[in-house]
Amino acid sequence: MSRFSIADIRREVLNRGLVASIGDTTIWRWLTEDAIRPWTHRTWIFPRDPAFEEKAGRVLDLYAGLWEGQPLAATDWVLSTDEKTSIQARRRLHATEPPAPGTAMRVEHEYARMGAWAYLAAWDVRQAKIYGHCERKTGIVPFEHLVDQVMRQEPYRSASRVFWIMDNGSSHRGRRCVERLKKRWPSIIAVHTPIHASWLNQVEIYFSIVQRKALTPNDFRSLTELENHLLRFEEHYQSTARPFHWKFTRSDLKKLLSRLREGSLRRAA
């Protein structure tokens, strides 16, 4: 068995003779008290970047208002950026029926694909502002369009330092990306997350909000309608947005990596 239900656990307990009898409710209560749910699982990626702690620590410092051990100035800005790729416009083959008393919204299962956008966005960590636009595909040039979109505006245009937090996607990875950005906008300091660490990138929180609140269900008659919808939601969201309450610190990172190392040593033994 790779996944257990309450009934499976009950049968196993009785077959092993651990108890003479037991009810499903009792098993449920015990598991709830111990916060164990053997019928669920989650996937994850073990951190394999040899400089994981160093790279992640720099990002966490920026969220805490620090850079190289010194507090950020009032004229420093921190942007978290990425792309949400392949957002399809799905035109349903029958019109969606709105909710009614006692009836949920009804969305036709079949649809026609009307194309897809890549939604590029930059989240201002300190101001809770979002800047985004749609492109037909990702790449170096589309990413630089986003950079220009942001950096041509105040306060970034005249800022002394603008930190851009980004992952290692092909559009903005490595030393060449750092050099390109620095050449075009000398105030930019590119900060890359470790490999396989998208959870450190705050813009991913915004993308998850977009997915839940603006793209579910997906019912758009054209790419133009989808683009307008994304940009209207962006405007609506930042009208009441607050900076994300980021709790994970360097201290938490050290504890996490230590726990993972200890677990690896135990499994190897």
165, 193 contact by CB (below 8 A): yes
pLDDT above 90 coverage of the chain, percent: 88
CA angle 239, 241, 244 (to 5 degrees): 165
pLDDT at 268: 67
Domain ranges of the chain: 1-42, 52-250
- 263 confidence band (pLDDT: 50, 70, 90): confident
C-alpha pair distances (Å), 60 with each of 8, 12, 69, 120 = 43, 45, 12, 22
Q: What is the mean pLDDT of residues 53-74?
A: 96
What are 128-177's pLDDT values in tens digits?
A: 999 999 999 999 999 999 999 999 999 999 999 999 999 999 999 999 99
Q: What is the mean pLDDT of residues 24-52?
A: 89
pLDDT at 4: 87
pLDDT at 3: 85
Q: For the chain, give me the number of helices (H) and strands (E)?
A: 8, 7
Q: Is the pLDDT of residue 267 over 80?
A: no
- 269 confidence band (pLDDT: 50, 70, 90): low
What are 188-238's pLDDT values in tens digits?
A: 999 999 998 989 999 999 999 999 999 999 999 999 999 999 999 999 999
pLDDT at 104: 94
CATH superfamily entry for domain 52-250: Ribonuclease H-like superfamily/Ribonuclease H (3.30.420.10)
pLDDT at 127: 96
What's the whole-number average pLDDT of the chain?
94
Report the interhelical angle of 203-213 vs 223-238 (nearest 10°). Answer: 120
67, 59 contact by CB (below 8 A): no
What are 71-124's pLDDT values in tens digits?
A: 999 999 999 999 999 999 999 999 999 999 999 999 999 999 999 999 999 999
CA dihedral sign, ordered 178, 86, 122, 249:
negative
200, 194 contact by CB (below 8 A): yes
